């Protein structure tokens, strides 16, 4: 048994890479990149494709009440299930690996284990989670929340896409019944393991090939409104102006400085900005921008947000501008399960690799599933740290390595004596 | 004659103020402020109103080929005409005086002169210029350009409003024939005098009541595109980012600093900004903003623009961002006519006021009409420097003073022996 646990599991590398290519044909945009929004035709085509692969692997398949696709092998001793997977949807203009890697690698790992080691002692499952990105509806983590019993009452009736279609109507359009969402809840999962691309530059820059996530950063979203005085761009002297956009500019630089000085993993981003009246020859009277601030430590995230708010107010006072900072959202950091993470570390060592302990700045299905399972998360490098872009990429050998380590961890979890 | 020239002309103050109020009823917006875009129903109502006032003043009236409304008194000795006026259109959400003051004061001054001093020796005219603000069509100074023969071939067919209507179609909708635009050209104007609100804070802050414009600032408009790399707001470390918006923020602050350090009358304004992809959780890959840079001295405006471009490029190099600065427009400064300006100064002295010599940062019909006449421009204070706003205001006694000084200047020009 000792020897067995130290072997790196073999997989069908060619099939893995071919399937990733094939999945990347579902939802291609004319302008480049992929778009597989929840319950769209491209999404349906992708879920049917992975459904077929699960069947080919000899797994018992089913589509749950929200459209998550599951493949299952019954364990000889029953008990709680060991699950792997990731999300099948993409952002608009996204790449071939975000979500897709964890889905395809999960199917590959489970099918290969079944083929090479026979029936597991524990129930072993792979899953293609229907939605994580929030790229169609004004909600996200839909699939994982359905599994973890975190969907809100009437959420499907309330939430709409930009064309006004409700989630409920979109469900019906693909043959799902929104009154049955609760049937997707799973209370019988022991461990959930997710393989994902890092989406950041850390592993690639350090020339390291594997990371284990110890914590997924908490995220605060702020809405900042700066009010000055609109003025004539020609007639208003520079020293008499109350330019809301100049105030916002000073705030944005201060925000980046605060995050930079706090040091990694603190990050703060101004991703959107708008001014009023937004005319070439009028000094902006109002500037409004968003702040996304993250940290893996809850106390430090709170401090980061407080510092940002303080800096905005200070700039406002200096420039005689009114400043309103409104918190849109504040999600705490989510630690991964120590035991599952240690299993991933051991599996990496079977490949001769010491996995780097990492914070995930990005959100993942895993953070939601901590409510339902002992979760561990494995990262492979993103070349150049590129993410949510058509050219996101991971070296083929790292895709293969990550999948083999995933399979090795699943073997430890599902083939216990 | 000497004594006569030193008297401040009397006017019908009540009628003047009442008419300004009445004109401010044409084109009121439900949300507050006025909107009288060119060739709109509100614009037609306003031009009919002032047409009636010109007739009531005993003037010979006509509407020219682009819709400028003229009122005329034939001079006893003929020759080239003495003209006063301003524009009848407004920005969206504008106030009661911008343009309107010069129109109503012009009618009042000419009518009062006629009534009190009889027929002038020179041809004396007032005019309500159809358009200056550029608030409907993507062009401006339409009325003054038609007078000064500065309309481009096919401009009326080419230029459209936001709904796609061409200027030519809009002209036809109010009974004007776009094939006859050239008939609006005037080659027989000697002097043009315009009374206008300052639209800036200089007179109000200095507690001065009258200004004479010596030069209208030149204006450069730039389009700046900053390109970095879009990135994941959670996964991309602060020190690895190429955030286009942060670069733009540093540029905007540098631009304001350059104009501030160059000193008045240098001004520079970033009035519009947009980012891509404009998502709360994505580091902006592209930021695009406008710059409006003005100075009364052409060499210094050129220097201001060069410094702005240099600063943007420097920030780009420091932050590893690509920067494109594209000049959309570069209009030189326009000096007013010395002789006409001196006439305005003398008229102010008749009221016991030493008019302040001023640069106009804002553009005016006067700058266009320098191509056709010896132009002088008189300013009254804008309370708090407010402009292009519903609450723009000038004290009633300054409105009256400005109109009396205008009338006094016109008397000097039109009642010469």
User: Could you report the per-residue pLDDT of B44-84, keeping only the tens digit for each?
Assistant: 999 999 999 999 999 999 999 999 999 999 999 989 999 99
Has residue A4 got a pLDDT over 70?
Answer: no
Has residue A98 got a pLDDT over 50?
Answer: yes
**Maximum Cα–Cα distance across chain B:** 83
**First-to-final CA distance of chain A:** 9
Has residue B3 got a pLDDT over 50?
Answer: no
pLDDT tens per residue across span A305-357: 999 999 999 999 999 999 999 998 898 999 999 999 999 999 999 999 999 99
Q: Please answer whether residues A374 and A340 qualify as being in contact, where contact means their C-beta atoms are separated by less than 8 angstroms.
A: yes
Average pLDDT along chain A: 95
Q: Please answer whether residues A104 and A16 qualify as being in contact, where contact means their C-beta atoms are separated by less than 8 angstroms.
A: yes
Q: B307 CB near a chain A CB, below 8 Å?
A: no
Nearest by CB to residue A221, choosing from B217, B219, B280, is B280
Q: Which of A235, A283, A358 best probes binding to B when mutated, by most B CB atoms within 10 angstroms? A: A235
Mark out the alpha helices in B91-186 (DSSP H runs). 100-117, 142-147, 155-158, 167-173
Looking up tokens 């399960």 gives: A337
DSSP3 helix / strand / coil % (chain A, rounded to 5):
40, 25, 35
pLDDT tens per residue across span B328-371: 889 899 999 999 999 999 999 999 999 999 999 999 999 999 99
Has residue A3 got a pLDDT over 50?
Answer: no
CA distances from B239 to A198, A257, A260, B253, B322 (A): 17, 10, 7, 21, 18
What's residue A5's pLDDT?
Answer: 56
Q: Which of A222, A271, A327, A392 best probes binding to B when mutated, by most B CB atoms within 10 angstroms? A: A271
Which residues have a Cβ under 8 Å from the Cβ of B405 and sit 6 or more positions away? B8, B210, B344, B347, B348, B350, B351, B353, B378
Percent of chain B with pLDDT over 90: 88
Q: Please answer whether residues A245 and B209 qualify as being in contact, where contact means their C-beta atoms are separated by less than 8 angstroms.
A: no
Element at A282 (helix H, strand E): strand A282-283
| B86 band by pLDDT with thresholds 50, 70 and 90 | very high
Has residue A290 got a pLDDT over 80?
Answer: yes
Element at B286 (helix H, strand E): strand B286-295
What is the DSSP annotation of A5-55? HHSPPP--HHHHHHHHHHHTTTTB-TTSSB---TTSHHHHHHHHHHHHHHH
What's residue B1's pLDDT?
Answer: 40
Beta carbons of A385 and B235 less than 8 Å apart: yes
Beta carbons of A232 and B270 less than 8 Å apart: no
Percent of chain A with pLDDT over 70: 99
What's residue B4's pLDDT?
Answer: 54
Q: Which chain B residues have a beta carbon less than 8 Å from that of A281?
A: 269, 271, 292
Q: Which chain A residues have a beta carbon less than 8 Å from that of B360?
A: 234-235
What's residue A1's pLDDT?
Answer: 40
Nearest by CB to residue A273, choosing from B231, B267, B275, is B275
Q: Please answer whether residues B65 and B84 qualify as being in contact, where contact means their C-beta atoms are separated by less than 8 angstroms.
A: no
Q: How far apart are CA A415 and CA A395, in angstroms?
A: 30
Over residues A128-141, the mean pLDDT reads: 92
Over residues B127-135, the mean pLDDT reads: 95
Half-sphere exposure of B365 (CA within 13 A, CB side): 33
Q: How far apart are CA A385 and CA A72, in angstroms?
A: 34
Which residues have a Cβ under 8 Å from the Cβ of A141 and sit 6 or more positions away? A131, A132, A134, A150, A363, A365, A368
Q: Please answer whether residues A399 and A2 qualify as being in contact, where contact means their C-beta atoms are separated by less than 8 angstroms.
A: no
pLDDT tens per residue across span B316-330: 999 999 999 999 889
Q: How close does chain A come to B386, measured CA to CA in Å?
A: 7
Nearest by CB to residue A271, choosing from B252, B268, B281, is B281
Q: Which chain B residues have a beta carbon less than 8 Å from that of A250?
A: 249, 253
pLDDT tens per residue across span A231-268: 889 988 899 899 999 999 999 999 999 999 999 999 99
Chain A, 201 to 220: residues with Cβ < 8 Å from chain B are 201-202, 205, 217, 219
Q: A390 CB near a chain B CB, below 8 Å?
A: no
What's residue A6's pLDDT?
Answer: 67
Interface A:B, Cβ pairs < 8 A? 198
Over residues A94-108, the mean pLDDT reads: 97
Average pLDDT along chain B: 95
Has residue A18 got a pLDDT over 80?
Answer: yes
Has residue A139 got a pLDDT over 90?
Answer: no
Residue A309 phi, psi (nearest 5): -65, -40
Residue A30 burial (C-beta neighbours within 10 Å; 0-12, 13-18, 19+): exposed
What's residue B268's pLDDT?
Answer: 98
**From its phi and psi, is residue A78 left (phi > 0), alpha (psi between -120 and 50) or beta?**
left
**Range name among A395-399, B133-137, B316-320 with the lowest pLDDT average:** B133-137
Over residues B394-398, the mean pLDDT reads: 98
Beta carbons of A238 and B360 less than 8 Å apart: no
Q: B279 CB near a chain A CB, below 8 Å?
A: yes
Beta carbons of A234 and B294 less than 8 Å apart: yes
**pTM for this prediction:** 0.81
Strand partners, A63: A69
Q: How far apart are CA A52 and CA A67, in angstroms?
A: 15
Nearest by CB to residue A238, choosing from B202, B240, B256, is B256
Q: B26 CB near a chain A CB, below 8 Å?
A: no
Has residue B376 got a pLDDT over 50?
Answer: yes
What's residue B2's pLDDT?
Answer: 42
For A251, nearest residue in chain B (alpha carbons): B249
Angle at B355 between CA B350 and CA B356, to 5 degrees: 170
Which residues have a Cβ under 8 Å from the Cβ of A312 and sit 6 or more positions away? A224, A226, A251, A254, A255, A323, A325
Q: How far apart are CA B150 and CA B368, in angstroms?
A: 8
Percent of chain A with pLDDT over 90: 88
Helix axes B13-23, B396-414, angle to 10 degrees: 110
Nearest by CB to residue B388, choosing from A269, A282, A363, is A282
């Amino acid at each position: 048994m000792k020897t067995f646990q130290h072997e790196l599991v073999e997989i069908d590398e060619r099939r893995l890479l071919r399937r990733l290519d094939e999945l990347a044909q579902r939802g291609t945009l004319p302008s480049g990149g992929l778009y597989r929004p929840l319950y769209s035709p491209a999404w349906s085509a992708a879920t049917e494709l992975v459904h077929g692969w699960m069947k080919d692997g000899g797994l018992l398949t089913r589509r749950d009440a929200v459209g998550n696709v599951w493949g299952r092998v019954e364990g000889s001793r029953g008990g709680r299930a060991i699950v792997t997977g990731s999300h099948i949807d993409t952002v608009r203009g996204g790449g071939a690996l975000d979500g897709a890697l964890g889905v395809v690698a999960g199917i590959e790992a489970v099918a290969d284990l079944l083929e090479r080691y026979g029936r597991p002692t524990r129930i072993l499952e792979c899953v293609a989670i229907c939605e994580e990105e929030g790229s169609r509806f004004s909600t996200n983590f839909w699939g994982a929340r359905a599994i973890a019993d975190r969907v809100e009452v009437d959420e499907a009736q309330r939430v709409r896409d930009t064309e006004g279609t409700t989630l409920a109507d979109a469900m019906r359009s693909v043959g799902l019944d929104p009154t049955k969402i609760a049937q997707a809840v799973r209370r019988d999962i022991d461990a959930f393991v997710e393989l994902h691309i890092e989406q950041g530059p850390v592993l690639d820059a350090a020339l390291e090939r594997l990371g284990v996530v110890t914590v997924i950063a908490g995220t605060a979203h702020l809405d900042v409104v700066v009010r000055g005085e609109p003025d004539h761009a020609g007639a208003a002297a520079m020293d008499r102006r109350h330019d809301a956009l100049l105030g916002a500019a000073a705030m944005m630089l201060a925000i980046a400085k605060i995050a930079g000085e706090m040091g990694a993993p603190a990050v703060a981003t101004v991703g959107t900005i708008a001014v009023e009246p937004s005319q070439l020859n009028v000094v902006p009277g109002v500037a409004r921008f968003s702040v996304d601030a993250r940290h893996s430590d809850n106390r430090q995230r709170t401090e980061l947000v407080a510092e940002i708010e303080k800096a905005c107010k200070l700039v406002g006072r200096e420039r005689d501008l009114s400043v309103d900072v409104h918190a849109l959202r504040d999600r705490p950091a989510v630690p991964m399960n120590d035991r599952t993470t240690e299993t991933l570390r051991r599996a990496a060592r079977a490949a001769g690799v010491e996995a780097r302990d990492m914070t995930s700045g990005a959100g993942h299905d895993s953070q939601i599933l901590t409510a339902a399972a002992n979760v561990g998360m494995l990262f492979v490098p993103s070349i150049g740290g590129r993410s949510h872009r058509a050219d996101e990429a991971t070296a083929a050998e790292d895709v293969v390595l990550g999948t083999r380590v995933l399979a090795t961890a699943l073997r430890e979890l599902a083939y216990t004596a």
